[in-house]
Structure 1
Amino acid sequence: MTFRLPEDWKKVRLGTLMRLVRRRFEPNKDDIRPYVGLEHILPEKLRLATHGWSYEVESTKFEFKRGDILFGKLRPYFRKVIYAKFDGICSTDIWVIRPNKGVDGRFLFYRLASWEVVNVASKASSGTKMPRAQWDFLVNYEVPIPPLSEQKKIAEILGSLDDKIELNYEMNKTLETIAQAIFKHWFIDFGPFQDDLVYNEELDKEIPEGWEVAELGEILSLEYGKGLPKRERKPGNIPVYGSSGIVGWHNKALVKGPGIIVGRKGTAGSVIWSHTDFFPIDTTFYAVPRRINSMVFLYFELKRQNLPKLVADSAVPGLNRNIAYMNKTIIPPESLVKRFDDLATPLFKMMHVNSQEIRVLEQIRDSLLPKLLSGEIRVKVDVEEEFPKETKKLVEIKKEKARIRKTLLDYFEGA
C-alpha cells in the first residue's frame, strides 16, 4: 500500500541532506581518543557495544565529532549505524556523515538507519567477498523529508525509545557488575575468609582451608554448538548465539537455559550469558555443569579464566577446549556456592526482564521508524493505541521488575 506524501513534505536526494567527512587521523601516542571500529558496533541494534582507544591502532583513521552519524560501509546489510555521542576516531570502513544546515542530525540518523536506506546501500555495494557501499550511488537516492520542526519531533519520539533502551543496557551492566564484585570478593580475594587462609603448594598462594583445587574440566564440560545457516532459521523467540553474541532468532532451541556460551572461533574465548533457552551455532561451545550446579557461579568462573589469552597463546586459531580444561580452579564448599547463587540469581532475573523490555522497545522503534519517516503516521502518535500487544507486554514487565526489586530488597535487608 502506498501513502500520499503529506503536503508540507518533499522528496529530495540524500546528498542534499548530508556530507561525507574525511578528516584523517594518524596514530599519535600523545593524542589519546576513543576509537570505534566495526567490531564495536552491534549489528541492527543502532548502538555501540563498547569502544577502543587510539593507542590500540596503527593505521590511518577518520575523525568524527559528537552528533555525527557513523555508517558501516563494509557489508552494510549488518546495519551498523550509530549516532555519535562523543568525539573520537573510527575505522576507514565507516562513513562519517554530518548533517547539512537545516537538517536535524538525529532525524538524519534514523533516516540512514532505516532498512529502506540500508537495503539500498547493500544492493549498490561493490566487491564479492567484502562488499562496500558506494557513496556516489547512495547520495542520489530520493527520500521523503518533512519540515525541520517535524524532523525534530520524529527524532524526539524515536530518540525517547532509544534512551529507554540505553538505560536498560546500563542497568544490566550495573547489575552484572554487582554480582561480579560479590564473586570476586568471596572467591578470588577471599574477603570474608581471611582468618581461615592456608598455603596451597599447587597454586603457590593462600586459599581458604577446606577448599579444593581442581582442573576446570572437573566442574564443567564445553559442548559443541550446531550449524544453523541463516536460510534455515525460522521466525521465533529463541536467540541464536555466535561467538560475538546474538546473531539471529529461531523457533527451536538446542539448549535449555539459562546457560553459558563460549566462543570457539571468531571471538574465541568470549563468555556470554543466555537468560533463556538458546541455540548456539558451530562457532561456539556451551557449558554443561559437572560438579558445580550453579550456572551463575560457572559464568563468572569462566570469565575469571581469561580464555581469550589461551587463544592468543596458541598457534592454532580458536579455543581448544582440552587446553581450557587443564586450567586450575578452586572449588568452594557447596553451601557457599548455593548462597552466592541465591544472591546473584535475582540480579540476573532483573537483567532478563530488562532484556525483555529492550526487545519490546526495539520492536516498537523499528515498527514506528518507517511509518514516521514516510508520513504514514504523523508525530502525534499514540503508542498504546498503535502497539497494544507490545504495550501490554511492557506493563507486565514493569510488574515483574517491581516483584524482583522487592525480592532483592528483602534479601539485602535480611543479610
Structure 2
Amino acid sequence: MSWPIVELGSVVSFVGGSQPPKSTFKFEPEDDYVRLLQIRDYKSDKNLTFIPESSTKKFCKKDDVMIGRYGPPVFQILRGLEGAYNVALMKAVPSEKVDKDYLYYFLKQDKLFRLIDSLSQRTAGQSGIDMDALKSYPMLLPPLEEQKRIAAILDKADAIRQKRKQAIELADEFLRSVFLDMFGDIPAGFSKYPLVGCRGSVKAASGKSSKGVISDSSTDIPIYGGNGINGYATEALYSKPVVIVGRVGQQCGITTLTDGPCWVTDNAIVLEITDLKKYDAAYLAHALKHSPLRDSVKRLDLPFVNQSMILDYKIPLPPISEQKKFGSIRKNLLKHLSLQQKGIGISEDNFQVLSQQAFSGQL
C-alpha cells in the first residue's frame, strides 16, 4: 500500500469553545436556550447547564469529535452529545478527505495519548494540549472508502469492548450493595461501626512524573493517573498493591486499587497501609470510593483533594476480619468476572493493538 502520510493539522482543524458568563446560566431547559457542554458532561448528566443560544457560536452535534483540552487527564476524546461547548473543549473538524469516524478512532490511539500527555504543559495543577505537536502528528490517509472500512471494524471491536465495561460496572454496583449492607451508608453518616479518619494507620504520598519510564509497548507495569491506567512503564514505583486517589481536576477523588507492581503519576495521591491489623486495602479503597469526598469538591473552579482531606475523612472502622471478608467477596467476584470475559474477546489491550494495526496500514 502506498497511502500518503500527512500532518494531522493539514486535514483537520481544531475549533476551541467559548465561555459565556455564569450570570446567563440556567439549570433547567428553556425556550431559546441550549445545553452548555463541559468535559464532565460526557460522563454524567448530573450538572446540566443551559445558556442563551444567541450567546455563543460554538456548537457541536452528537457525531462530532470533541477533545478535552485540559486535565488531568488531558486529551480525552469524546462524542455523543450536542449543544454549545465551553473553553475546556475543542472540536476536531475533518476536511473532505477525512471520515469523521476514522478521525475519532485515530485520535483515541493510546500511542497518541501518551505523546500528548507527556508534552502537556502544567499550570496550577492542570495540563494543556501542545497544539503544535498535535497538528504535526503523522496521519495515514487512505481513500475515504478504506477509512470507512477501518472505522467500521474498530466500531465493532469497540462495541465488544464496551460490553466488558458494562460487566465491570454491574460488578461494581453489586460490590456497592454488599458494602452498604456490611458497613453502612457513608454519605448518610450511618454505620454500626465508629466513623474515624485513617491518619496514623495509612501513609499518603504524591505520585511521580512518568516521563522517564513510559514504555512504547504494553508491559506488566501499568501507569496509573488520576483516572486509572493511562500507559505502561519500564519500571515500578510501587511493588505491592496500593490505593490511588485522583488529586486534581475533574478526576479528583476517583479511587482505584492496584493489584501489583505499578507506577503512579503526580496527578494522584498514593495510600499505603502501615497498620495491617487495622485496615485492609480493598476495604479502604471501597470506603473512599463510596464516600461523598469527591462530591464535596468537584463543583470548585479547580476541584482538588489533598492528603489531609483523605487521611482525616471519617469512614467506618470495622474489625479487620470483616474488612477481609469483604475483600474475599471482591476477589471471588473479580475472578468470576475474568473467566466470564474471556469469552467476550476484546480487551483494552487487544483493542489498542487492533487500532495500531489499523493506523499503520496493516488492517
Q: Write the deviation string for residues 113-162 of structure 1: whole angstroms up to 9, x where unpaired.
A: 5689989999xx9999956537xx95x99966444433321111122222
Residue 55 (structure 1) aligned to one of 49, 54, 66: 49
Which sections of structure 1, spanning at least 5 residues, go unmatched?
A: 41-47, 191-203, 382-415
Residue 208 (structure 2) aligned to one of 220, 227, 247: 227
- Is this contact kept in 2: 1:311–1:319, CA < 8 A? no
Task: Give the alignment's TM-score, normalised by structure 1.
Answer: 0.61
CA distance in 1 between partners of 2:106 and 2:277 (Å): 52
Task: Give the alignment's TM-score, normalised by structure 2.
Answer: 0.68
Equivalences for residues 4-403 of structure 1 within 5 A: 4-5=2-3, 27-31=25-29, 33=35, 35-37=37-39, 53-55=47-49, 62-72=58-68, 79-82=75-78, 84-98=79-93, 104-113=99-108, 133=131, 138=135, 145-188=141-184, 208=192, 212-213=193-194, 215-217=196-198, 220-233=201-214, 236-264=219-247, 268-282=252-266, 283-288=268-273, 290-308=276-294, 318-321=305-308, 324-349=310-335, 358-372=347-361, 377=362, 381=363
1:317 shift after superposition:
6.7
CA distance in 1 between partners of 2:143 and 2:44 (Å): 34
Structure 1 residues 54 and 24 mapped into 2: Cα distance closer, same or farther (>3 Å)?
farther
Aligned to 1:193: none
Structure 1 residues 178 and 90 mapped into 2: Cα distance closer, same or farther (>3 Å)?
farther
CA distance in 1 between partners of 2:200 and 2:314 (Å): 11
CA distance in 2 between partners of 1:117 and 1:255 (Å): 26
- Is this contact kept in 1: 2:74–2:129, CA < 8 A? no
Amino acid of the residue matched to residue 343 of structure 1?
Answer: I
Amino acid of the residue matched to residue 230 of structure 1?
Answer: K
- Is this contact kept in 2: 1:13–1:141, CA < 8 A? yes
Structure 1 residues 357 and 349 mapped into 2: Cα distance closer, same or farther (>3 Å)?
farther
1:65 shift after superposition:
0.9
The two structures, once aligned, show a CA RMSD in angstroms of: 5.0
- Is this contact kept in 1: 2:196–2:317, CA < 8 A? no
Secondary structure of 1:255 counterpart: coil
CA distance in 1 between partners of 2:246 and 2:121 (Å): 31
Which sections of structure 2, spanning at least 5 residues, go unmatched?
A: none
CA distance in 2 between partners of 1:114 and 1:189 (Å): 39
Structure 1 residues 144 and 284 mapped into 2: Cα distance closer, same or farther (>3 Å)?
closer
Structure 1 residues 61 and 348 mapped into 2: Cα distance closer, same or farther (>3 Å)?
farther
CA distance in 2 between partners of 1:119 and 1:189 (Å): 38
Q: Write the deviation string for residues 227-259 of structure 1: whole angstroms up to 9, x where unpaired.
A: 344124456431223334334422333334443
Secondary structure of 2:102 counterpart: helix
CA distance in 2 between partners of 1:97 and 1:328 (Å): 44
CA distance in 1 between partners of 2:258 and 2:169 (Å): 15
Amino acid of the residue matched to residue 365 of structure 1?
Answer: L
Structure 1 residues 110 and 325 mapped into 2: Cα distance closer, same or farther (>3 Å)?
closer
Amino acid of the residue matched to residue 171 of structure 2?
Answer: L
Secondary structure of 2:105 counterpart: helix
- Is this contact kept in 1: 2:38–2:88, CA < 8 A? no
CA distance in 1 between partners of 2:190 and 2:75 (Å): 50
- Is this contact kept in 2: 1:259–1:295, CA < 8 A? yes
Structure 1 residues 222 and 91 mapped into 2: Cα distance closer, same or farther (>3 Å)?
farther
Count of aligned pairs between the two proteins: 336
CA distance in 2 between partners of 1:269 and 1:119 (Å): 23
CA distance in 1 between partners of 2:235 and 2:316 (Å): 36
Secondary structure of 2:27 counterpart: coil
- Is this contact kept in 2: 1:11–1:145, CA < 8 A? yes
Amino acid of the residue matched to residue 231 of structure 1?
Answer: G
Structure 1 residues 256 and 361 mapped into 2: Cα distance closer, same or farther (>3 Å)?
same
Amino acid of the residue matched to residue 319 of structure 1?
Answer: N
Q: Write the deviation string for residues 257-282 of structure 1: whole angstroms up to 9, x where unpaired.
A: 44311245565543222233222345
Secondary structure of 2:347 counterpart: helix
Secondary structure of 1:231 counterpart: coil
CA distance in 1 between partners of 2:318 and 2:252 (Å): 28
